[in-house]
Amino acid sequence: MKLLKATKIKSSQLGRIPDSRELAEEIGWLPDEVDDIRSIAPYDCSLDTPFPSGDKTILDALPDRGSVAPDDEIIEKETREKLDEALEVLDSRSRDVVELWFGFRHLNVPKSPKQMRERNTLDQIGQHFGLTRERVRQIKAQALPELKKALLKRGISSSRPSA
């Protein structure tokens, strides 16, 4: 980042691409260090640069990390529906404890995606229901085998597929 920034600054000052010596002076490196970095990443290019075929840009070819593949969305929805069905085998308090423990529900409104993935602690769940941490742990421990059996019945395995 330092080299890229220095290149932009020097280029605008000089009206041309600076050489290694000029960049080295700007950022306090040796010219050989600048050459080494330039050999690893020799070019700056815009994401709007078209491919030689002309039909796509570099940006078009990059995956959109924010989007979910449609089939992944369907699988996730079906899995969630089966999980909801399986949770129905539990009594309401056990279901509440499991949902809160695994982060399917939250005691407070999550303020970020990271908080959406966070579990509630046994202490937090206990305080919410007026139970001790140990009692919450016992409820969870009794509920999990029941939930596992219900999930297996619905075709959801706890084992991970091998790649």
- Matching residue, tokens 């970095």: 37
Higher-confidence position of 41 and 19: 19
Q: How confident is the prediction for the chain on average, in pLDDT? A: 82
Where is pLDDT greater, at 134 or 45? Answer: 134
pTM value is: 0.52
| Per-residue confidence (pLDDT) for residue 47, from 0 to 100 | 63
Task: Note whether 14 and 23 are within 8 A (CB).
Answer: no
pLDDT at 149 over 60: yes
Residue 149: which H helix or E strand, with range?
A: helix 133-153
157: pLDDT strictly greater than 60: yes
The pLDDT, as a whole number, for residue 93 is 95
pLDDT of residue 69: 72
- What domains lie within the chain, and their CATH numbers? 2-61 (1.10.10), 70-153 (1.10.10.10)
Looking at residues 124-134, what average pLDDT do you find? 95
Residues 140/119, Cβ–Cβ less than 8 Å: no
Residue 116: pLDDT band (50, 70, 90) is: low
Nearest-angstrom CA–CA distance, 103 and 96: 11
The number of CA neighbours under 13 Å toward the Cβ of 121 is 5
Report pLDDT for 103: 84
State which amino acid sits at residue 94: S
In which band, very low, low, confident or very high, does the pLDDT at 163 lie, cut at 50, 70 and 90? very low
For 51-107, what is each residue's pLDDT tens digit? 677 777 766 766 666 666 777 788 888 888 888 999 999 999 999 999 998 888 877
pLDDT digits (tens, 9 = 90+) for 29-39: 888 888 877 77
